[in-house]
Structure 1
Amino acid sequence: MSNAAYGLLGAPLAMAALPLFVQLPAYYATHLGVALAPLGGVLFAARLIDMLQDPLLGHLLDRAQAQQRRWMALGAAVLALAFAALWLPPQAGAPGAWLALMLVLAYGAHSLVNIAYLAWGAHLPRALGAVAWREGMGLAGMLAASLVPAAILAGDAAQVRPRLAVYSLVYALLLLLAMLVLLRYAPPAASRTAPQGWRDTLRELTRNRAVRALLLPYFLNALSVAVPATLALFYIGDQLGAPQQAGVFLACYFGAAACGLPAWTALARKLGPLRCWRLGMLLSVAGFCGAALLGPGDLLAYGAVCIAAGAALGADLALPPVLLGRALGAHLGAGAGFGIFTLLGKLALALAGLSLPLLAWLGYQPGHGGGPSLTLAYAVLPCFLKLLAIAASRSTT
């Protein structure tokens, strides 16, 4: 039960993360009339701030270990309010300016809670089980976030705002409940000696070879996941010719990841998390090699690809945080370590966005069928990045 109490917060954190990156831009463009050029500028600036603030937030959390619970509770309250405010902007005024302000608040609050949450789990007595619960609940939250807002926005236009208000209220209650369960029933995180200044943190990071060895394979692997995630809907619609089946394939992908988490956790206890992570990356390579051979109508085969890649995602989610927790040592703070991890993950998402102009340069046009350039970017490039990550992980101990 203690692992479940810790893991529950993963659901509302994931439910907030997906709309912030995927659904809100389309909502502001199509429902609120924000032009694409200023919308893109707002998103770029907010995401740049979000990416760069993570190491700072992690360092500050390390310096305030005694107050982390209070900071998490405050961050959760700000996140709930900003989440509602993003969906329900004032009906009079400039929605673009409102979006900019609320995104900065939401990103900051989400990063604060998430980094503290990851650092908490890194030092629990049964970290593997706790991480499995956290990532499993996160996948459940991601599924909910991918289905519910989409259904609301696709419904009656007159009912969109009232239904978003109800959705925001339910989200706030779930976040509050998960935070209360965490603070009351989850096992306390172990207290650690952390560097007190930036120079101390950088010095400890320089000395800690185990952490430094994890950064490159983690980044390469995160990029190998972010690229196909960015291109999945284009591949399903143009290469397979089945845009209406996108929801089914995404459900197979996330469902396989959730089902695979307990298996990876059990296997990691026998073989070790690093070896299991490599096996997961190899499974993903096998799946995407299959995707490189598919064309229009190969729906069952692509379903198998989604299941294989989703099962591999379970290893990607559960095992790198455990490896980082073990590598931190006695003096490098967990907040700083996970702040760097989250920065690398967001950098991978940002770089994955460059795959779209690359495809345009190669001649791909959405809605006009797939082709070698789309297959290369969606299936072959992630395999190459995964193999590089496996090779880079050889230096990890």
Structure 2
Amino acid sequence: MPPVQTKPSLSVPRALVFASVSLPIQAMAIAMAVYLPRHFASHLGVSLAAVGTAFFIVRSIDIPVDGVLGWAMDKTRTRLGRYRLWSILGAPVLMAGIYALFFAPEHVGLVYLVTWLLVLYCGNSMLDLSHRAWAAALAPRYNDRSRLFGILIAVGVLGSASVIAIPIINDARHVADSANVQMMGWFLLLLTPIAVALAVLTTPERIAPNAGGHEFKLADYAALLARPTFLRLILADLCLSFGPGWMAAIYLFYFTDSRGFTTGQASMLLAVYILAGIVGAPLIARIAVKISKHRAVMMTTTGYSLTLLTFMAIPKGNVPVGMLSLFVAGVFASGFNLLTRAMTADIADEVRLEQGRERAGLLYAMTTMTTKIAGAISIGSTFWVLELVGYKAGEGVSNSAAAIHNLELVYIIGPVVCVMLGGLCMIGYKLGSERHAEIRRQLDERDALYDEAAIIESVTQQPAVRTEPGAA
């Protein structure tokens, strides 16, 4: 059989337009992880324990929903496409959750938080899962995926940086901290429909043909987790999400109370950390092409952990030194999500070759589950631990030296251990570039046969054209 000719990945301009969906996704992620929990606790009169409990409850409920959404996406076949349709549906749900939470009244109760967090996370899952699975279909080759996911991460960095710029600008204008979250809310409400419309209207989607055979059953969740490559990836993703998530939840507490920065300065440092991804994501994508994705994970986790240890040495209020440490950490951190999501696409090809069915949505749902588990544990556990060690988060509260020291230990030790465990999970990983190239060759050959069969069937089923006697 002659070699199958496959279409190249998206050009850089079209990839950038497609990646625009990453702008609201990542902007909301940083707002939810860093600013919104603190806003509820410091400005709306909700206790730390209540905020942590709300996030934990919602994550616990939301986690299995991702599996259902991923399965439903893989089963969808419409004129609009498979994942394209779900991007359209996810945008209004996400916007409803943003409006309710970013403009919440004072002293909201646990029921209010849980209800609207569920709505927001459901909309986010619909948009995020469909975008990642769609990206996997657009870049079928091993190295192409590193490049495309590198672009997605770099564009997402701009969304995160835009949100972080809001408190920096407000601090310079001497605007109260309490106004930051509402301004972020307006920004997200405007950005989400524009970004989704750009991607949907300009990016095609080809639905891969089914090869027949295996139909998904609930027992397949366990079977997927039992795959050595996917199990390693899931465990690594859990650790790589938990470490930074732990830090994000108490970032402002650490850099204001321990390192002596103002909220505006701390936001500026966080902006440097996030913007480092514009440099880090393409750089790490290129490194992954050279040394393979799983080795790049081990490299980035080691560099990130060593950099975190330098945070304790940042002089109080010293912005230039803080910028340097945060930039280096941000370069390494930008590789975590990039590499694990690109590796998930490779595993989806392996599964489709064996089962004959698209499973990208389901696999991305399962990796997103680990991220959400980490998010639930990180926000809930860090806030509970801070209360346990005597740290107080209320406005105008003065903490003792012992409480500040405990804050520092909580901030550094857990993330370093978790991130290093994530790197160790990649030892012995087998799905490299050569193995994936063989998988894609077999998939391309099989897809070509099914496409040819579908064309023949459609032609043979055309109704015969009747002609009148004597017609030319």
TM-score range, shorter chain: 0.7 to 0.9
Matched, 1:341 2:370: no
**Candidates 3, 10, 14, aligned match of 1:2:** 14
Structure-2 change in CA distance of 1:22 and 1:192 (3 Å): farther
**Candidates 136, 139, 142, aligned match of 2:160:** 142
1:80 is matched with which residue?
A: 95
Q: How much has 1:386 moved relative to structure 2?
A: 2.4
Letter in 2 for 1:118: R
Aligned ranges for residues 31-42 of structure 1 at < 5 Å? 42=54
CA contact (8 A) 1:238 1:368 kept: no
1:237 is matched with which residue?
A: 256
Q: How much has 1:263 moved relative to structure 2?
A: 1.0
2:232 is matched with which residue?
A: 213
Paired with 1:360 and 1:97, the residues of 2 have a C-alpha distance of 22
CA contact (8 A) 2:88 2:196 kept: yes
CA contact (8 A) 1:233 1:243 kept: no
Paired with 1:209 and 1:294, the residues of 2 have a C-alpha distance of 41
Paired with 1:385 and 1:40, the residues of 2 have a C-alpha distance of 20
Q: How much has 1:81 moved relative to structure 2?
A: 3.4
Q: Does the residue aligned with 1:202 lie in a helix, a strand or coil?
A: helix
Q: How much has 1:362 moved relative to structure 2?
A: 4.5
Paired with 1:30 and 1:384, the residues of 2 have a C-alpha distance of 29
Letter in 1 for 2:198: V
Question: Mean alpha-carbon deviation: is it higher for 31-40 or for 11-20?
Answer: 31-40
Structure-2 change in CA distance of 1:95 and 1:3 (3 Å): same
Matched, 1:351 2:355: no
TM-score by length of structure 1 reads 0.84
Q: How much has 1:117 moved relative to structure 2?
A: 1.0
1:305 is matched with which residue?
A: 325
2:118 is matched with which residue?
A: 104
CA contact (8 A) 2:157 2:274 kept: yes
Q: How much has 1:108 moved relative to structure 2?
A: 0.8
Paired with 2:40 and 2:87, the residues of 1 have a C-alpha distance of 29
Letter in 1 for 2:416: C
Structure-2 change in CA distance of 1:186 and 1:31 (3 Å): same
CA contact (8 A) 2:309 2:412 kept: yes
Letter in 1 for 2:160: M
1:368 is matched with which residue?
A: 400
Q: How much has 1:102 moved relative to structure 2?
A: 3.1
Q: Which residues of structure 1 form unaligned runs of 5+?
A: none
Matched, 1:124 2:124: no
Structure-2 change in CA distance of 1:142 and 1:192 (3 Å): farther
Paired with 1:173 and 1:241, the residues of 2 have a C-alpha distance of 34
Letter in 2 for 1:311: V
Aligned ranges for residues 87-98 of structure 1 at < 5 Å? 87-88=102-103
Matched, 1:54 2:66: yes
Q: How much has 1:8 moved relative to structure 2?
A: 0.7
Structure-2 change in CA distance of 1:228 and 1:81 (3 Å): closer
Letter in 2 for 1:134: L
Paired with 1:289 and 1:301, the residues of 2 have a C-alpha distance of 14
Letter in 2 for 1:350: A
Question: Mean alpha-carbon deviation: is it higher for 380-389 or for 321-330?
Answer: 380-389
Larger Rg: 2
Structure-2 change in CA distance of 1:341 and 1:172 (3 Å): same
Q: Which residues of structure 2 form unaligned runs of 5+?
A: 1-12, 394-398, 431-472
TM-score by length of structure 2 reads 0.72
Matched, 1:177 2:177: no
Structure-2 change in CA distance of 1:105 and 1:385 (3 Å): closer
2:424 is matched with which residue?
A: 391
CA contact (8 A) 2:164 2:271 kept: no
Residue by residue over 1:85-107, the C-alpha shift from the partner in whole angstroms, topping out at 9 and shown as x without a partner, is 4344699x977655544332222
Paired with 1:44 and 1:223, the residues of 2 have a C-alpha distance of 13
CA contact (8 A) 1:6 1:187 kept: no
- The two structures, once aligned, show a CA RMSD in angstroms of 3.5
